[in-house]
Amino acid sequence: MTRTDPSTTSLPAFAGRHVGPRADDVEAMLRVVGQPSLEALLDTAVPAGIRASSTVDVAPAASEAAVLAELRELAGRNEVVTSMIGLGYYGTITPTVIQRGVLENPAWYTAYTPYQPEISQGRLEALLNFQTMVAELTALETAGSSLLDEATAAAEAMTLMHRATRAKPDAVLVVDVHAFPQTVAVVSTRARPLGIDVVVADLDGVDSSDALRQVAGGRDVFGVLVQYPGADGLLRDFRALTAAAHEAGALLAAAADLLALTLVVPPGEWGADIAVGTTQRFGVPMGFGGPHAGYLAVRSGLERQLPGRLVGVSVDSAGHPAYRLALQTREQHIRREKATSNICTAQVLLAVMASMYAVYHGPEGLRAIAEHVHGKALVLAAALRAGGVDVLDGVFFDTVTARVPGRAVDIVAAARDRGVNLRLVDDDTVSLSVDETTTDEHTKAALDAFAMSPAGWIAVAPMEEEAFRRTSAYLTHPVFHEHRSETQLLRYLRRLADKDFALDRGMIPLGSCTMKLNATTEMLAITWPEFANLHPFAPAEQTEGIRALVDELAGWLCEITGYDAVSLQPNAGSQGEFSGLLAIRAFHEANGQADRRVCLIPASAHGTNAASAVMAGMTVVVVRTAPDGTVDLDDLRAKVEQHREDLAAVMVTYPSTHGVYEDTITELCALVHDAGGQVYVDGANLNALIGLAKPGRFGADVSHLNLHKTFCIPHGGGGPGVGPVAVRTHLAAYLPNHPLDPGAGPATGVGPVAAAPYGSAGILPISWAYVRLMGGEGLSYATQVAVLNANYVAARLREHYPVLYAGTAGLVAHECILDLRSITKETGVTVDDVAKRLVDYGFHAPTMSFPVAGTLMVEPTESEDKGELDRFCDAMIAIREEIAAVAAGEVAVGDSMLRHAPHTAAALAGGWDHPYDRATAVFPAGVQADAKYWPPVGRVDGAYGDRHLVCSCPPPEAFED
Ligand SMILES: *Cc1c(COP(=O)(O)O)cnc(C)c1O
């Protein structure tokens, strides 16, 4: 049966909005591909052995209006209560111009990771602002462009300190007893598989290396992690501790609150080597735990050790400053099992929001907010003390801890009745955290729960304690001073967004990344207060709606994948991989086979796979790729045999990263199972499987999915993401859990892998809405058209560029690899040249040199219509003709349009010494002058930027001609 237009079949109406090609387009494209029907195409492309017997049995599709009504109903089951819980999550006011201009603006949220710097200058500038903001507030030299959350940033700091100190095998990490409990738990989850011992200790009075060694049980210490201010609210002077750590050859990392740092002496000034934390309270709603941008900053000398992405300043072909991602060679996609971190997708959109919050408020504005917060906390402490309550003694910023022997539960309940959530520390202790949104009514209600009333009001209060008072300046760069009126900020946001190429301009044909439609209806609910303003540790009875949504989505993901249990906690694909491998590890340990530690990974795998395996304490053994691109089964057989005793798992991507449905997958699963190993299927390519095959049924034991690829969460310019891990029953006991939420995972779980129980829960309504709008049939139809679109591109381009791999009948799966290697050899034209020339044609480049160097990988997705696919194919064919001119000797490659691409408006207006004319350079075939995308900079010099590393905002003079 041929599926045709949704309007003429049983397909849901929304499927016709989500899927690009119309019915007659589908027919025409099938003819080009040489297949009689969609069914025939899939029957030929997908091995019969893996086709799922049943369809996808999720709730029948509903209309956009109906889905919004259902979301309203779910939202209504959440109760938004003023939060004074603290612990790294605070109420914050998102300036509405930022909410609408960034968070709700497709020009920002539909952008891809800025690997192509020429079309990403806007978000790179925003990220550089973020780095500058973090570096200056922490008083450390270099900050990265975001991590996943505070707890995982602390775990990254641990491994950084371990590497940088070349720690001895028995050296330990000492963690401050006042660190946030979720941070201690995540750090412990990450330490365990690496064989690192974590000692939680009271560090008060530790002022020598001997004393430090003593709290570490007499062992060497490689790192110390402190919380500043502590979970109890107190600011501690860590100068002596830091000196002691350094004396012991250890490094010290401080988990620090950026808002507090506007008032108090920052970690860099008291000697910390590293600072980590969250930027949530800089205008990013709590969202029941995420997403928010975590940060990590280091002192000079450690910048080349930073995990994750780092924006740097370089120059373009005209010598003008231009931004780019720096030191890419550190990253997992290059270093694989030698990588220092598996982080790939980070939190770009949220980092942009936080940086804009600083741009909007400037240093005085931030300081005023901090003084408001501090003032209210002083009011609380004074009133409690006046009422005879024992308040923890010491200097605090925003959090007051009260000792109320035997009364804590009652007081928290009384506060809840008055509309305020307090933190129940234990039966005798309550703490109260103040934030930007706290009003006098809130403080009054909180005090009323203690049967007390405020003794007086303080509007704002500077840090009164001189030893902690910050005197150094911060955010001095003009960018934090120039955009204070809403008009100015509005225009700044617009100016930056205009520099970038996102899905709202055209196709982003990235292999392995599934840049599909992020529908408006899917996006709407994330900013509703009932989802946005929930604290992740709020009482369960206040969060019924979001919990129901989480459960329902998890159930649908099980149905779609054929697995039995899902955890939505991992906040990126990389974290899902780590979680899945931890489950495998725990399973072997439970079976008395703790020695099973070898992870077989094909040479073609995504870099995160190998990096995650190492983080899970496994040894990576690489399996060769056969000449046809499939996993070399003979090599696999040999390696399985060789590791019969210590095989933990094989980690494969399906369909393969080469974009082919390998028909050997069931055999591969059986081989590994027979040898006692587990099968991990990287589910990032699930867009080629939904409704066709279920990994949980064709032999795999565990997969992670990427909701920011297959399930419509926008890429955000490089994050947020959600990377659920899905397992079969025998691994379900080893999924992540959370110390502060028993409902978030099995009691026997491996510990948390993210700070919040449900990770980036705030964006789950997007994927929930996608499944709800599409229904099982719509989801299956999307897969079919995704495969058709990829085969259509392959069919149209094959005679111009060799398609590297194909399966049965020359068909590919949902993406195809265009092989430029022979072209490069003959003409000198590189994949870079083609990628940059595509910018002149108004396209984002495909994925470059992954999984095979010298190739381009194209994944059109089902959302691109035939017109856009044709525009892309026509551009690629026209570029092939430009290459032919080089081959024919008509123009030297060094003088060609290809090599000088992309062409800027400035280059056009300046002196012109090229052998080709201006019009052909900027308005090549198919490009309309009135719809032209102008890249703001010429080709960016990567090597220069790495040699002259600059990772904060350059002075304005740098941009003068
Ligand atoms: C994107 C991707 C990943 C990593 O996911 P992140 O969310 O970026 O961490 C892993 N494997 C494959 C095949 C991918 O395409």
- Are 251 and 225 contacting, i.e. CB atoms less than 8 angstroms apart? no
The answer to whether residue 585 sits within a structural domain is yes
C-alpha separations of 446 from 77, 169, 285, 418 in Å = 24, 49, 22, 7
Q: Which residues are CB-contacts of 422 (< 8 A; sequence separation ≥ 6)?
A: 84, 85, 411, 412, 415, 416, 430, 431, 432, 446, 449
Which residue from 156, 309, 512, 817 has its CB within 8 A of the most atoms of ligand 1, so it is best to mutate?
512
Q: Which of 728, 760, 792 is the last residue of a domain?
A: 760
Report how far residue 240's alpha carbon sits from residue 321's, in angstroms, rounded to the nearest whole number: 42
Q: Indicate whether 504 and 568 sit together in one domain.
A: no
Clarify whether residues 503 and 582 are in a common domain: no
The C-alpha angle with vertex 767 and arms to 764 and 769, in degrees rounded to 5, equals 105
pLDDT of 368: 97
What are the start-end ranges of the E strands in 41-116?
Answer: 82-84
252 lies in the same domain as 331: yes
- Please say whether the beta carbons of 321 and 120 come within 8 A: no
What is the Å distance from ligand 1's center to 655 Cα? Answer: 14
- Provide the Cα torsion 748, 725, 703, 624; round to 10°: -90
Q: Whose CA is nearest to atom 2 of ligand 1?
A: 684
Q: What is the DSSP letter of 321?
A: E
Q: Which atom of ligand 1 is nearest to the CA of 342?
A: 9
537 Cα: distance to centroid of ligand 1 (angstroms): 29
- Alpha carbon nearest to ligand 1 atom 8, residue: 345
- Distance from the alpha carbon of residue 842 to the mean position of ligand 1, in angstroms: 26
Residue 106: asked if its preceding bond is cis (omega within 30°), the reply is: no
The answer on 224 and 100 residing in a single domain is yes
CB 362 within 8 A of CB 137: no
277 plus 397 within the same structural domain: yes
Report pLDDT for 5.
52
CB 640 within 8 A of CB 672: yes
H helix intervals, 278-395: 332-335, 348-386
* 920, amino acid identity: T
How many independent structural domains does the chain possess? Answer: 2
Say yes or no: CB of residue 518 within 6 Å of ligand 1.
no
Residue 795: inside a domain: no
Q: How far apart are CA 589 and CA 595, in angstroms?
A: 8
For residue 723 and ligand 1, the question of a CB distance below 6 A is answered with yes
Domain membership of residue 817 (yes or no) is no
* Residues in the chain with pLDDT values less than 70: 1-9, 53-54, 961
The Cα–Cα gap between 201 and 172 comes to: 12
Q: Are residues 502 and 571 in the same domain?
A: no
**Mutation test residue for ligand 1: of 345, 514, 680, the one with most atoms within 8 Å of CB:** 345
β strands within 395-543, DSSP E: 399-403, 420-426, 429-433
How much distance in Å is there from the Cα of 344 to the middle of ligand 1? 7
Q: Is residue 179 part of a domain?
A: yes
Domain assignment of residue 869, yes or no: no
**pTM value?**
0.98
How far away, in angstroms, is 425 Cα from ligand 1 center? 38
Domain span holding position 752? 564-760
Q: Are residues 573 and 474 in the same domain?
A: no
Domain shared by 214 and 332, yes or no? yes
Are 534 and 80 within 8 A, CB to CB? yes
**Ligand 1 center to 718 CA (angstroms):** 11
Residue 341 beta carbon below 6 angstroms from any ligand 1 atom: no
Q: Are 650 and 636 in contact (CB under 8 A)?
A: yes
| Residue 553 is assigned to a structural domain of this protein | no
> According to the model, what pLDDT value does residue 961 have?
63
Ligand 1 mutation target, pool 514, 608, 702, 861, most atoms within 8 A of CB = 608
CA of 688 to the centre of ligand 1 (A): 15
Chosen domain end from 711, 745, 760:
760
Are 754 and 608 in the same domain?
A: yes
- What is the per-residue pLDDT for 262? 98
Instruction: Answer yes or no: is 548 within a domain.
Output: no
Q: Among residues 703, 738, 760, which one ends one of the domains? A: 760
pLDDT at 1: 38
CATH of the domain at 211: 3.40.640.10
- Residue minimizing CA distance to atom 14 of ligand 1: 684
For the Cβ of 189 lying below 6 angstroms from any atom of ligand 1, the answer is no
CA-wise closest residue to 145 among 327, 5, 317 = 327
Mark whether 578 and 479 lie in a shared domain: no
What the block records as the tokens of 524 is: 């709407």
Ligand 1 center from residue 705 Cα (angstroms): 9
Same domain for 259 and 363? yes
Sheet with 311-316, edge to edge strand ranges = 321-325, 311-316, 940-941
Closest by CA to 33, choosing from 809, 876, 856, 816, is 809
Shared-domain flag, residues 456 and 578? no
- CA distances to 120, 321, 341, 465, 832 from 115, rounded to whole Å, are 8, 17, 18, 46, 12
Question: Tokens for 147?
Answer: 């991590």
Task: Give the pLDDT score at 2.
Answer: 42
Instruction: Quote the DSSP letter at residue 101.
Output: I
In a domain, 348, yes or no: yes
480 CA from centroid of ligand 1 (Å): 34
Instruction: Say yes or no: CB of residue 572 within 6 Å of ligand 1.
Output: yes
